[in-house]
C-alpha cells in the first residue's frame, strides 16, 4: 500500500507528489529576472472588426493580470467587470496576453496614453510596464479559458553543474518529455502562498455561510479539487498507469476537452489494442476527476482508485459536493509542443507550448532536481 493511501482525514500539505522521470542531479535558478520567463498566449479568433468589445493583446512586465485589468477599467472609465481575460499570468515574468473591454457606444481609446501611465524604466528590475501590441473590435467578450495554447521561453541560470555531460543529459531529458509528456499536475500557484488557498477552502467548508467574494470562493474551491486531482494522479504514477489504460478509465482527446468511456472488456481485444496504440501515440490521455457532483463516467478499477483517494479527505469530498460543483475531467498527461532546448554559455534555455490550464513549472520539475 502506498503512503498516499495512508493519508486519512488530515490534509498533508507537505506531500511530495511523485515524479515520472529519474531525477537529474542538477539544480537551477528560475526567474532571476522577468525576462527569464516569457509567456505568449495564442488564440484562434476571427475578429468581426466591429462591436462593443475592444480586444487588446498586451505585453506586460512586472504586473499581474488582475491588476492590469483594473488599470484598463480605470482608464476607460468602466467597471472592472467590463474587462475580461482568458487566463492569469505571473507577475514576475514578461507575458503577452489578451484582454477585452466592453465599450458600448464608445470609441476605441488611445492606448498609447495608457502605456505612459506605467513606468518605462525596466532597468530597475522591478518596474511595471505594458505595451499594447494589437487592438481589434469584436462583437463578443473574451471568455475565461478561451485560449489555443501558451508558448514559453524560459532561461535557467546558476546551474549547480555546468559540465558538458550534464547539459547533454538535460537535452536528452527534454527530448524524452517532448515525446512522452509529463504528469499534468496543477502547479503550486494554484494553492497559494504557504498553501493558503487550501487553508481557506477548509474554513469555507466548515462554515459555508462565511461571506467572501465570488472570486475568492471560486479560487478556494478550485484549489481543493485541484489538490484531490494531484493526489489521484500521484497514485496513478505510483501504480504505473498515469499514461496507460486502467479498466473503467475515461479518456480525453489530445488538445480537446471531449472525453469518452473505456468500454473494453477484460479480455484482450482489438479495441484494447487500439486504445493502447492511441495512448502510445499521444492521441488520447487517461483522465482523473475534478471532484464534484455527477462523477459517473468513470467505472471499475479507475473509479475505485479515485474513490479511495477522495474518501481520505472527507472535508474536501463533502464540501465540494455541498458547494454544488459539477464534476469534470482533466487529462493525466500533457505533451509539450515544439519542445526545444539549448545551452547558452552556462545557462540552459527551454521553449515549448502547453494547452491552457497546464503548468510550465510542472515540466521543469521533471528536468531539474530543484528550482529556486
> Cβ(320)–Cβ(337) under 8 Å?
no
Question: 306 in helix, strand or coil?
Answer: helix
| Residue 90 among the catalytic residues | yes
Query: Could you say which of 12, 14, 36, 90 is catalytic?
Result: 90
Within 8 A by CB and 6+ apart from 101, the residues are 53, 54, 56, 72, 73, 76, 78, 82, 83, 84
Is the C-alpha dihedral spanning 183, 184, 190, 191 positive or negative?
negative
Strand boundaries in 16-92, DSSP class E: 27-30, 37-42, 53-61, 83-85
Q: How far, in Å, CA of 7 to CA of 313, rounded? A: 8
Euclidean distance between CA atoms 351 and 169, whole angstroms: 17
Q: DSSP 3-state assignment of 40?
A: strand
Bridging pattern class, strands 370-371 and 27-30 = parallel
Q: How far apart are CA 184 and CA 358, in angstroms?
A: 6
Which residues are annotated as catalytic? 90
Amino acid at each position: 500500500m502506498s503512503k498516499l493511501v495512508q493519508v486519512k482525514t488530515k490534509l498533508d500539505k507537505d506531500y511530495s507528489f511523485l515524479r515520472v522521470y529519474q531525477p537529474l542531479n542538477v539544480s537551477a535558478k528560475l526567474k532571476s529576472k522577468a525576462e527569464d520567463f516569457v509567456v505568449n498566449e495564442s488564440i484562434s479568433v476571427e475578429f468581426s472588426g466591429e462591436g462593443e468589445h475592444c480586444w487588446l493583446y498586451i505585453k506586460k512586465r512586472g504586473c499581474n493580470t488582475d491588476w492590469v485589468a483594473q488599470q484598463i477599467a480605470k482608464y476607460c472609465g468602466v467597471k472592472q467587470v467590463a474587462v475580461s481575460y482568458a487566463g492569469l499570468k505571473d507577475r514576475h515574468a514578461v507575458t503577452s496576453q489578451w484582454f477585452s473591454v466592453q465599450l458600448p457606444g464608445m470609441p476605441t481609446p488611445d492606448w498609447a496614453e495608457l502605456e505612459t501611465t506605467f513606468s518605462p524604466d525596466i532597468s530597475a528590475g522591478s518596474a511595471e510596464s505594458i505595451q499594447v501590441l494589437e487592438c481589434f473590435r469584436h462583437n463578443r467578450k473574451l471568455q475565461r479559458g478561451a485560449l489555443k495554447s501558451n508558448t514559453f521561453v524560459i532561461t535557467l541560470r546558476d546551474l549547480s553543474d555546468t559540465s558538458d555531460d550534464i547539459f547533454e543529459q538535460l537535452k536528452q531529458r527534454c527530448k524524452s518529455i517532448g515525446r512522452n509528456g509529463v504528469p499534468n499536475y496543477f502547479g503550486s500557484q494554484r494553492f497559494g502562498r504557504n498553501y493558503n488557498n487550501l487553508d481557506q477552502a477548509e474554513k469555507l467548508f466548515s462554515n459555508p455561510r462565511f461571506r467572501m467574494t465570488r472570486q475568492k470562493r471560486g479560487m478556494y474551491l478550485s484549489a481543493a479539487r485541484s489538490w484531490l486531482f494531484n493526489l489521484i494522479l500521484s497514485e496513478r504514477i505510483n501504480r504505473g498507469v498515469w499514461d496507460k489504460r486502467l479498466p473503467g478509465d475515461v479518456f480525453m482527446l489530445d488538445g480537446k476537452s471531449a472525453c469518452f468511456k473505456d468500454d473494453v472488456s477484460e479480455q484482450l481485444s482489438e479495441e484494447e489494442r487500439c486504445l493502447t496504440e492511441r495512448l502510445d501515440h499521444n492521441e488520447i490521455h487517461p483522465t482523473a476527476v475534478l471532484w464534484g457532483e455527477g462523477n459517473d463516467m468513470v467505472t471499475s478499477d479507475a473509479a475505485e482508485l479515485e474513490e479511495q483517494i477522495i474518501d481520505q479527505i472527507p472535508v474536501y469530498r463533502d464540501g465540494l459536493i455541498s458547494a454544488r460543483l459539477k464534476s469534470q475531467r482533466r487529462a493525466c498527461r500533457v505533451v509539450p509542443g515544439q519542445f526545444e532546448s539549448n545551452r547558452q554559455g552556462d545557462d540552459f534555455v527551454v521553449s515549448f507550448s502547453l494547452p491552457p490550464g497546464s503548468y510550465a513549472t510542472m515540466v521543469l520539475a521533471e528536468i531539474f532536481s530543484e528550482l529556486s
